[in-house]
Amino acid sequence: MIHATSLRPIAILFALILPGAPALADPGVIFEQVRLVDPATGSVSAPVDLAVRHGAIVDPGATPEDALRVSAADHYLIPGLAEMHAHVPPQRVGEQQVLDTLVLYLAHGITTIRGMLGEPAHLVLREQLASGEAVGPRLLTSGPSFNNNTVASPGAAAERVRIQVEAGYDLLKLHPGLWPEAFEAISETAEALGIDYSGHISVAVGLDRVLASGQGSIDHLDGYGQKLVPPDHALFGTDPGLFAVNLIEAMDPARIPELARRTAEAGIANVPTQSLIENWAIGDVEELMARPAMRWIPKATLEQWREGMERIRSRIPAAGGQRFVDIRRQLIGALHEAGAVILLGADAPQILNVPGDAIHHELEIYVAAGMSPAEALASGTTSVARYLGQADRYGCLAPGCVADLVLLRANPLQDIRNSREIEGVMRAGRWFDRETLDELLDGVEQRAAGTP
């Protein structure tokens, strides 16, 4: 459990407005002469004043005279980013590692995370983040995953769905190892109770069944590799391996457009986590380990990641990594071109993917795969808001929208790498300027290095 007492110094440092405080304790914030970036239209406004009060965007005239004024001339505001395949560390690793992970997300402009491997402690954390007791993004959390170790029968699968709905989780996480009858029990019960179920595609279930279901998102482009193998190929129907790496040589890119069309018609979103796959398949390990973001990762974890890379690389056929990456990028581009929903997600923290930092690598990959910078940003803002059915509250910059914002020093529509040029982040009206973010990150770095 995350204890409020451990967060008091942070709360004092940022002068956070606590729940229940009188309205006058929040004079509001005005971003002066800032340009607003609309990912949905790919447009940038003329300089305007944008005002925030009580956690929402308001008309500038609705803020008192003593509102905090942020000089934002020649700066750009975008809606806060969402990481739709994130992981929050489990309670057993310790409170500080959980807090540091949340800081890394927030400091990189991520104001919403969808935790894809939850536990009861994350339900408590979700409320503490919402109330301001914990500093970090809005948390949507799955429950513990559905897989062949946790589901013994279709009846047990349906009961597990009911238990997680009753507990209050936001979605169900599917892991490999399910079989068709269990998947059908999960999907039918989840749809009856109105809860999202997302994640992997089990080999025995297959892409066809998922596209015919109400599954919310397919993560990691799982299940597509098998469908890219022609039925007359010798590898058809064989063990696909990790994300279908055993089938790389058999994959036929000519089959991609039809799969993209079917996905768009099914209305199922994809969370590619392509940055993770590219690290694994073709990344230079030493260069990846030397990335500046690695300074925020404890040395013991870095060594675990290095060892993990050795195991993963042993599963990828020699000279097959680049073909695997190229085909997956073609698939991302085709899905987008067909009108299928792409949601931003990098599967951090995961081997060589640092929370927050990984999302910006993911954005660059989407652009390289054929999306415009605006379309890439939409995958983590307006598309997420629509997916969640909250387009009038999140991913927007109009009065009435939740004030989840990122202030940038440069225009991300000109170069998606400008999404890293963060001057400050606002989460539900709480403003973290660059100095504050740097202080937070310095603390994470010191703890990662083992220094007091």
pLDDT in tens, 270-307: 999 999 999 999 999 999 999 999 999 999 999 999 99
Q: How far is CA 66 from CA 26, 62, 299, in A?
A: 10, 12, 46
Report the Cα 187 to chain-centroid distance in Å.
23
At residue 270, the 3 state secondary structure works out as strand
379 with 342: CB under 8 angstroms?
Answer: yes
- What is the distance between the alpha carbons of residues 218 and 198, in angstroms, rounded to a whole number? 6
Beta carbons of 140 and 113 less than 8 angstroms apart: yes
Question: For residue 282, which of 207, 365, 396 has the smallest C-alpha distance?
Answer: 365
Q: How many helices (H) and strands (E) does the chain have?
A: 16, 16
Q: What share of the chain is helix, strand, coil (3-state, %, to 5)?
A: 45, 20, 35
Is the pLDDT at 319 greater than 70? The verdict is yes
Rounded average pLDDT over 324-332: 98
Backbone torsion region of residue 330, taken as left when φ is above 0, otherwise alpha when ψ lies between -120 and 50, otherwise beta = alpha
Q: What is the pLDDT of residue 23?
A: 41
**What are 233-254's pLDDT values in tens digits?**
999 999 999 999 999 999 999 9
Yes or no: say if 74 and 411 are a contact pair by the CB < 8 Å rule. no
pLDDT of residue 34: 98
- Mean pLDDT, range 175-184, rounded to an integer: 98
Answer yes or no: are the C-beta atoms of 213 and 201 closer than 8 Å: no
Report the top-level CATH class of 145-387: alpha beta
In sequence order, the 6+-apart residues with CB closer than 8 A to the CB of 69 are: 29, 30, 32
The 10s digit of each residue's pLDDT in 53-98 is 999 999 988 889 899 999 999 999 999 999 999 999 999 999 999 9
What pLDDT does 318 receive?
Answer: 77
**pLDDT tens profile 1-41:** 232 323 323 333 333 333 333 344 689 999 999 999 999 99
Where along the chain do its domains lie?
145-387
Per-residue pLDDT band for 317 (boundaries 50, 70, 90) equals confident
Over range 415-436, report the average pLDDT: 98
Model confidence pLDDT, tens digit, residues 292-301: 999 999 999 9
Residue 426 has pLDDT above 60, yes or no: yes
Q: What pTM value is reported for the model?
A: 0.93
CA distances from 101 to 36, 142, 215, 272, 451 (A): 29, 17, 28, 21, 18
H/E run at residue 328: helix 321-338
Q: What are the start-end ranges of the E strands in 59-182?
A: 68-71, 76-79, 81-86, 110-115, 138-141, 171-174
| Mean predicted lDDT score pLDDT of the chain | 93
Model confidence band, residue 452 (pLDDT cutoffs 50, 70, 90): low
The predicted pLDDT at position 8 comes to 28
- In whole angstroms, what is the distance from residue 101 CA to residue 87 CA? 9
Instruction: State mean pLDDT over 407-434.
Output: 98
**Three-class secondary structure of residue 89 per DSSP:** coil
